[in-house]
Amino acid sequence: MPYVFSTTQRGFTPVLIVKVDGQEVSGGFYNRLIEASVRDEAGQKSDQATFKLDDAGNALELPREKASIELYAGWKETGPAQLIGLYELQTLSLAGDVSGGETMVLQASAADLRRKLKGEGREHFENTTVGKIVERIAGRNGLSARVSPELAGISIPYKARIDSSEIDFLTRLADDLGAVLKPMGNVIVMAPRGMAKSASGLLLPAIKIEKSDCSSWEVNPNGRAQYGKVRAAYIDQRTGKRVIVDAPTGLDGPDFTIRDPLPGREQAEKAAQAEARRLTRNTGDGHFELALGRVDAQAEADVIAGSSFRKEIAGVWRAEAVEHTWADEGWHTRIEIKAKEDGTSTKDDDDD
Gap between the Cα atoms of 158 and 251, Å rounded: 34
pLDDT per position as a tens digit, 294-314: 998 988 888 999 999 999 899
Residue 189: Cβ-neighbour burial (10 angstroms; 0-12, 13-18, 19+)? buried
Residue 223: Cβ-neighbour burial (10 angstroms; 0-12, 13-18, 19+)? middle
Q: In the chain, where are the structural domains located?
A: 3-109, 114-192, 229-281
Angle at 50 between CA 285 and CA 205, to 5 degrees: 45
What fold does the segment set 114-192 form as a domain? Phage tail protein beta-alpha-beta fold (3.55.50)
Q: Give the length of the chain.
A: 352
Phi (first) and psi of residue 171, to 5 degrees: -65, -45
Tens of each residue's pLDDT in the chain, 352 residues: 778 888 889 999 999 999 999 999 988 899 999 999 999 987 667 789 999 999 999 988 899 999 999 999 999 999 899 999 889 999 999 999 888 789 999 999 976 666 667 667 889 999 999 999 999 999 988 888 989 888 999 999 888 888 888 888 998 898 888 888 876 667 888 888 766 556 555 567 899 999 999 999 999 986 555 788 999 999 888 888 889 999 988 777 888 998 888 888 888 898 898 888 777 765 688 999 999 999 989 888 889 999 999 998 999 898 999 999 999 999 999 999 988 765 443 444 444 3
Strand partners, 90: none
Gap between the Cα atoms of 144 and 188, Å rounded: 6
pTM here is: 0.73
Q: Give the per-residue SS3 of 162-214.
A: EEEEHHHHHHHHHHHCCEEEEEECCEEEEEECCCCECCCCCECCCEEECHHHE
Over the range 40-52, which residues count as b (16 or more CB within 10 Å of their CB) and which as e? bbbeebbbbbbbb
Q: Does residue 133 sit in helix, strand or coil?
A: helix
Gap between the Cα atoms of 32 and 257, Å rounded: 55
What fold does the segment set 3-109 form as a domain? Thrombin, subunit H (2.40.10)
